[in-house]
Amino acid sequence: MLIKRGIAVSPGVAIGPAMVFGTENFRIPQQLIATNVIEIELSRFRAALDATCDEITVNEQLARERLGDQYAAIFSAHLLLARDQQLVAQIEERIRQQNSPEFAASQILRQYAKRLRDLGGQYLAERSVDIYDLEKRLLRHLLGERREELSNLTAPVLVLANNLTPSETANLDRKFVLGFATEVGGHTSHTAILAGALEIPAVVGIGKFLDDVSGAQTIIIDGSHGVVIIEPDDDTLAKYRDSEARFRSHEQRLKSLREFPCETSDRVAIKLMGNIEFPNEAEPSREKGACGIGLYRTEFLYLESNREPTEDDHYRAYCQVLKAFPGEPVVIRTLDLGSDKMPGALRAAYPESVNPALSVRSIRLSLQHLELFKTQLRAALRAAVLGDLRIMFPLISTLLEFRQAKMVLSDVVEDLEEQGVEFRRDVAVGMMVEVPAAAIMAEEFAREVDFFSLGTNDLIQYTLAVDRADQAVSGLYRSGDPSIVRLIRMVVEAAQRNNISVSVCGQMSSDPMFIPLLVGLGIRQFSVTPHAIPELKEVIRNLTIERAVGIAERASSLEVARDVENYLWGELKKLCPESMQLD
Amino acid sequence: MRPLELIARTAQSFRSQVFVTRGTNRVDAKSLLHLLTLGAEPGMELDIDATGDDANEAVEQLVKLIGSEFEGIGPA
């Protein structure tokens, strides 16, 4: 029995056989193809090869512009390899012999790489690395960046991986994936957020552990405590089977809350809305009791494929969400990607930044690429005809930035008007408050924006200067830090004075412990991971405003994060003793 | 550009088939990948042969290129 600890990101217990998912090893879906598809497979191979060469050419140009000819030469050599007639002929020959392009390319390239390495010498060793790189690029184009295994499951498994991309996570088949655990990742990684939404027990950020597991070994994933147990002994297994059952009955009890309104016990309504990434999460959110979408992250439109989403792609996605919530708010957050995760077409234009969190991202990216930005805004304004769509700009740091973004929006309004396209003009426009500068200037912002949404994930990261995904410092990331409490209070008070709404949409609001504090600070609207709604509702229904204010007062007087969190934890236990028995 | 790339690119500029031989290993001079498998290093003896309408020219050019020891180019 081996126990590994990581970060608990999605509660519940899962017990079952492991499926280990390699990192760089693309699984080749099939080795052989039928004779009648040889021509099709050949053209698929050529297309992938062309795409690979295009990619290398772009890199070459970039290297030339930014670094000089010397560096560009590296890529011109790569191109020479990719276009090698002998190589292409050999791979095509294999495909004609009914090998799949993936299998043929991989086999042949690996043979060459191995041969060069065996010849010895550093120069050839480096070239063999180039060839492996070429293999990876080619396979990525052939497989469309999709890893086949996960979509073709036939029996229940626990997925163990170095990392899962958000798309992979979103597409996990809940029927067969009982839980997952990854080596990297943090609380606020998109993968973690999605795991919660899918209600699959998950633990991330475990550190290196895949070498200790082999496929089909029995694994326990305890997503409530961030524990993964490999080959548990009988006692442990029995204990977990018991807690698995108790977790289920707890879920049942929470489900029964669905019928009751979300209000404090002294009848003050608190709005719980959902955070979503994909349009098809809208309906499940509503089932969980969400009264609107407080944060629709639109990044997946950009990340799911390598091409830029069209206006219609956006429009269709937004309409789907609006239809799930007729008459209720749906807040569209405009593109929130950075140099670490650029949308396809822009990836080449920005070399990896040393410090992506402080570089070109979110609204800064949109303001540098107005066409990209306008496409999204056009779609949003058109979709707004269907319901209460609102637009929210992320990562606003200065008033000027907000004004610029609004100016672009009015350009789009003018364009739509001129073109006689049906749209809605009186759309509410708000901003994320997630940069400390914006929180500090909340009073000035509140005069110009229609609403605030506190993005606590980034607000904490920027205020405390901690990247939560970085294991070396993740312990310093504390939602309960007094500086955070104070910033939130400033923002809420500015919003109240200017009569605009303010909600909290970061992970902090999905943690029941912080609900009494936030309500006490004056928050009446939350946007949370949908699966957390029933649990938060229970906390809210057990709370009075008076008590919440008292809790906020007391918490505000404490000087260190640990004391704040311990205090809030204690208060939560008093409020919801039943739920706490689970731990 | 590295010497082998230069050989491949030069060979590719001819219509003829061009081969480079080291010992018993004879490879297509237009293929960088095959040239790499020669494991050639400075000071080694290489044979060049070609067939086609511009074969003479091709051999001449390549011999000149290799004979110049790739002047002005970094080490292999």
Task: Name the H helices within A199-233.
Answer: none
Residue showing tokens 């219609």: A312
**pLDDT tens per residue, range B37-73:** 998 887 888 899 999 999 999 999 999 988 887 765 5
Closest CA to A109 of A48, A55, A158, A159: A48
* A120 shares contact with chain B (CB less than 8 Å): yes
Confidence of residue A35 (pLDDT cuts 50, 70, 90): confident
Closest-CA residue in chain B for A131? B33
Beta-ladder partners of A161:
A21, A182
Task: Quote the DSSP letter at residue A263.
Answer: B
| B5-17 per-position pLDDT tens digit | 899 999 999 999 9
**Statement: residue A475 has pLDDT above 70:** yes
- pLDDT value of residue B74: 44
Token pair 């512009």 in the structure block, residue: A65
What is d(CA A80, CA B29) in angstroms, rounded to the nearest whole number?
13
List of long-range contacts for A415-424, beta carbons under 8 Å, 24+ apart = A415/A374, A415/A378, A416/A378, A416/A381, A416/A382, A421/A382, A422/A382, A422/A385, A423/A378, A423/A381, A423/A382, A423/A384, A423/A385, A424/A381, A424/A384, A424/A385, A424/A389
Using CA atoms, how far apart are residues A535 and A260, in angstroms rounded to an integer? 13
- A390-416 burial code (b ≥16 CB/10 A, e <16): bbbbbbbbebebbebbbebbeebbeeb
Q: Report CA Rg, chain A.
A: 26
Give the torsion sign (CA, A164, A169, A175, A179): positive
pLDDT at B75 over 50: no
Selected catalytic residue, list A141, A190, A314, A531: A190
Whether residue A291 lies in the annotated active site: no
How many angstroms separate the CA atoms of A285 and A273, rounded? 8
β strands within B8-64, DSSP E: 17-22, 25-28, 47-51
Identify the DSSP state of A493: H
Quote the tokens at residue A486.
Answer: 């104070």
Helix axes A101-119, A38-67, angle to 10 degrees: 50
Contact of A87 with chain B, judged by CB distance below 8 Å, is answered with yes
Residue with tokens 């305890």: A222
Quote the ipTM score: 0.87
Quickly state the pLDDT bin for A213 (edges 50, 70, 90).
confident
- Known catalytic residue: A187? no
Q: Quick one: pLDDT at residue A420?
A: 95
Instruction: Please calculate the CA angle A128-A133-A136 and round it to the nearest 5 degrees.
Output: 130
Between CA B34 and CA B37 the distance in angstroms is 5
> What domains are defined for chain A?
2-26+149-252 (3.50.30.10), 35-143 (1.10.274.10), 257-556 (3.20.20.60)
Q: With H, G, I as helix, E, B as strand and everything else as coil, classify residue A486.
A: helix
Instruction: Give the separation between CA A218 and CA A394, rounded to whole angstroms.
Output: 43
CA-based nearest distance B8→chain A, Å: 9
* CA A189 from centroid of its chain's CA atoms: 5
B57, two tokens: 């020219």
CATH architecture assignment, domain B3-67:
2-Layer Sandwich (3.30)
Q: Does B30 touch chain A (CB under 8 A)?
A: yes
Q: Per the CB < 8 Å rule, is A86 touching B8?
A: no
Asked if the C-beta of B21 comes within 8 angstroms of chain A's C-beta atoms, the answer is no
The 10s digit of each residue's pLDDT in A543-565 is 999 999 999 999 999 999 999 99
